[in-house]
Amino acid sequence: MCNGPTVKKIDPLPGKHSNTNVPKAIGAARQYELTGKPADQTIAQFFWDRMVHHHSYVIGGNSNYEYCGEPDKLNDRLSDNTCETCNTYNMLKLTRHLFGWQPSAAYMDYYERALYNHILASQHPESGMMTYFVPLRMGTRKEFSDSFNTFTCCVGSGIENHAKYAEQLYSYDGSNTLYVNLFVPSVLQWKAQAAVIEQRTAFPYSNSTALHFKVQQPKQLRIKLRKPFWLKGQPQLLLNGKPVTAEMGNDGYLIVQRVWKNGDKLSMALPMDLYTEAMPDNANRVAIKYGPLVLAGNLGNTRPDPVVGVPVLMTANRNVHDWLKPVPGLPLQFAMQKIGQPFDVTLQPFFATYKGYYSVYLGLFYTTRLGETPAGICCGKATTASH
């Protein structure tokens, strides 16, 4: 890749086999770490930017039939063979290298997106079996490996995937700064500082996390908590139950620096909100998200009727709160309110969708009376049902 287009900042991916190229970028990253050659750094960083921001679907995965297409053109590339799982396994590795050079919440926002919505979504939670592709065709379902008769590359990397959830939860700068990257229950044995930090949370089933400090002697430590891009409202931190202000770093992390005593507790509210994320090349094909989670419309266990098709959203109102309501007693599930055509469905986290048919992307249609212009659409007029 050194003498190729990537070092000249020309997107190398259109028409290329995705997962042949991600490991090359990881190789360039490692080479940069060993030699300091700026060209290798450029390759790794530029490649990451192109893949994440121009070739990835909402779940953080990439490729259709293992290949990348034109940048920002994903609308017509939804099939049963999207998002090879190895690609994301490797993109997480590349992200870790880049974060190590220059820690930034933006890298961990991608990491969290891909971890919850592709990697966690790629394993059958009962059998432990794994996916090769994660299909995003509207009205599809996941196909999992079996114990003896399938062994794709994604089973090989997949066996690693599900043993690696603890890998990037925390980082530290070699001194007394700790980055809290992800909100996962865990115990950090920080040997260099003779400190133990336990993170207690049920996130995303709860909307807060708390760090419990165990130190033998009071310790001056700089704790940096990632402010996720999806956080609803202003950050709210409590130190031993009392509000504490944190400095906002230009790396996107909230900083709490103090002398920590044994038994101290730092908690952070993590309120989430519903919102839509559209295809880059079609504003009227959207995925619905809640915080970092991609939601999938649950279509049941029967293959959707090809004549009826999968439900679409029939509205000009893009305010998702008006037509999606939490299902009482079922956390992270939301029911459509008279907006789906031909019928409403319930949405649930994509990672928890493994038995039936589903749709991650939904078509947004709107109806108007003759002469009316629907809100938020500048040029829609005199139509009855326009896409």
Q: Which of 198, 201, 196, 209 is nearest to 254 (CA)?
A: 209
242 Cβ contact list (under 8 Å, min separation 6):
none
CB of 120 to Zn ion, least distance (A): 17
Closest distance to Zn ion from the beta carbon of 66 (Å)? 8
Nearest to 74 by CA among 164, 138, 20: 138
Q: Taking a C-beta distance cutoff of 8 angstroms, is the pair 215, 261 a contact?
A: yes
344, two tokens: 């409403």
Cβ closest to Zn ion, residue 40 vs residue 84: 84
86 vs 231 by CB, closer to Zn ion:
86
Q: H helices within the chain, ranges in order?
A: 18-35, 38-54, 85-101, 105-114, 153-161
Residue burial 257-296, b: 16+ Cβ < 10 Å; e: rest: eeebeeebebbbebebebbbebbbebebbbbbbbbbbbbb
Instruction: Closer to Zn ion by CB, 22 or 197: give it.
Output: 22
Nearest residue (beta carbon) to Zn ion: 86
Residue closer to Zn ion, measured from CB, 20 or 206 = 20
The least distance separating Zn ion from the CB of residue 4, rounded to whole angstroms, comes to 23
| Minimum CB distance to Zn ion smaller for 79 or for 193 | 79
Quick one: 87 or 181, whose CB is closer to Zn ion?
87
- Minimum CB separation of residue 118 from Zn ion in Å reads 12
Rounded to whole angstroms, the maximal C-alpha distance in the chain is 74
Interatomic CA distance for residues 303 and 92, integer angstroms:
33
Burial class of residue 379, CB neighbours in 10 A (0-12, 13-18, 19+): exposed
Q: CA-CA distance, 364 to 122, in Å (whole number)?
A: 27
Least Å from the CB of residue 132 to Zn ion: 6
β-strand partners of 275: 289
CB of 60 to Zn ion, least distance (A): 15
Residue 204: is the preceding peptide bond cis (ω within 30°)? yes
Tell me how far, at minimum, the Cβ of 294 lies from Zn ion, in Å. 21
User: Shortest Cβ distance from residue 113 to Zn ion (Å)?
Assistant: 19
Please give the DSSP secondary-structure letter assigned to residue 28.
Answer: H
Nearest partner of 176 among 208, 215, 229, 204, judged by Cα: 215
CB 44 within 8 A of CB 100: no
The smaller minimum CB distance to Zn ion, of residues 12 and 158, is found at 158
Give the nearest distance from C-beta 144 to Zn ion in angstroms: 14
Shortest Å, Cβ 69 to Zn ion: 18
Residue type, 290: Y
- Beta carbon nearer to Zn ion, 86 or 120: 86
Rounded to 10 deg, the angle between the 85-101 and 38-54 helix axes is 130
Cβ proximity to Zn ion, 86 vs 362, nearer residue: 86
Nearer to Zn ion, 21 or 267 (CB): 21
Task: Summarize as ranges the residues that interact with Zn ion (CB under 5 A).
Answer: 84, 86, 153-154
